Each structure stands twice: as C-alpha cells, then as structure tokens.
Amino acid sequence: MKENKKKIDEILRVNHAGEYGAQIIYNSQIRFSKNNSLKKELKRISSEEKVHLEYFQQQILSNRTRPTIMQPLWKVGGTALGFVSSLLGEKYVHACTEAIESTIVDHYQEQVKYLKKRNVRSDLRKNIMKFCDEENKHKLSSQKKNKNQKGTFLFKKITKNITKLAIKISKKL
Ligand SMILES: [Fe+2]
Ligand SMILES: [Fe+2]
C-alpha cells in the first residue's frame, strides 16, 4: 500500500510538472511565433493542455502530493525552448511538438500499463489514457504539417533527450 502511494505520488508529480511545462512551452511559442495560422494551431493545442494541467493540479491537491521543486527551472527552460524553436522557424516548432509529444505518449502509456497491472486508480488511468490520446494527436498533426524535416533531426533528438531527463528528475524531485 505504501509502495503504491509512493508510485502514485511520482506519477502525479511528474505529470503535473510535464503539463505545466507544456503550458510554458506552447505559450512561449505563441508569444514568439510570427505566423498567424501556426499561432492559431498552437492556441488550440494549448487549450487542450490546459485541461490536462488543471486535472493534475487538482489531483496533487487531493492526493497531498508535493509538486516538483524544479518548477522554476522548467519555467525558464520551457520558455527558452519555445523561444528558440520559434526563432528557428515553423518547422522547428513542429519538430519540437513532435519530439516532446512522442516522448510523453510513451511515458503515459507506461503509466497506464502500471496502473492496469496493479489494478489501482482506474479513474486516474482513464484520464491518462484520454490525455495520451490527445498528446498523440498533437504529435500526428505536427508530423503532418512538417513535410520538410530536413535539418531538424538533431534538434528533435536533443529535445527528446531533454524531455526524458526532465521526466526522470520530476518523478523524484
Ligand atoms: Fe498534455
Ligand atoms: Fe500535448
């Protein structure tokens, strides 16, 4: 039981941190992008991310889970990532979305598997499944819009690795 509580705390802490980061990144991209249709798309995604964040916000409160202490750093890092990708241009904004969302889809799927196996918190599992589905759509729409991916390979790889590291840190800290 105690083991479960610790794991659930980790799940809620890292997901809250991730959805907080998503808000920061998308809002930074909306602020710094010059292309209006891109801004519109980012705003649409961001409004879905907001629902995710609100859910985990409410969850860490009702579960008495400590939020990550890294929030200030994620704010600075997320704003910088949004700024840099916007500055590099639209294809980098899409590359950023693709890299982050695909990492998050894997991350959420792992949690769904865990919760199912332990047969705990089916309410949480269902919500994560729903969010995961939406993250996957964010990934697919950015992939579709990014036909010319030339040059973005390294950027995507770096962004993926940063996301993975942030996930690892936010679980514990
Ligand atoms: Fe999300
Ligand atoms: Fe997303």
Distance (angstroms) between ligand 1 centre and the Cα of 19 equals 5
135 CA to centre of ligand 1 in angstroms:
6
Q: Please list the alpha-helical segments (H only) found in the chain.
A: 2-32, 36-62, 71-88, 90-118, 122-145, 153-172
* Cα dihedral across residues 13, 9, 48, 146: positive or negative: positive
Going from the Cα of 59 to the center of ligand 1, the distance in angstroms, rounded, reads 15
Q: What is the pLDDT of residues 87-145, one digit of tens each?
A: 999 999 999 999 999 999 999 999 999 999 999 999 999 999 999 999 999 999 988 88
pLDDT tens-digit map of 67-88: 999 999 999 999 999 999 999 9
Contact 64, 9 (CB under 8 A): no
Does residue 62 register a pLDDT over 70?
yes
Q: Decide if 77 contacts 100 (C-beta within 8 A).
A: no
Ligand 2 centroid – CA 26 distance (Å): 9
Neighbouring residues of the ion ligand 2, judged by CB less than 5 Å: 135, 138
Domains of the chain: 2-172 (1.20.1260.10)
SS3 at position 150: coil
pTM above 0.95, yes or no: no
Going from the Cα of 45 to the center of ligand 2, the distance in angstroms, rounded, reads 7
Question: How confident is the prediction for the chain on average, in pLDDT?
Answer: 94
Contact in structure between 114 and 7 (CB atoms under 8 Å): yes
CA separation, residue 18 to residues 10, 40, 99, 119, 144 (Å): 12, 22, 14, 24, 24
Taking the centre of ligand 2 as the mean of its atom positions, its distance from the CA of residue 134, in whole angstroms, is: 6
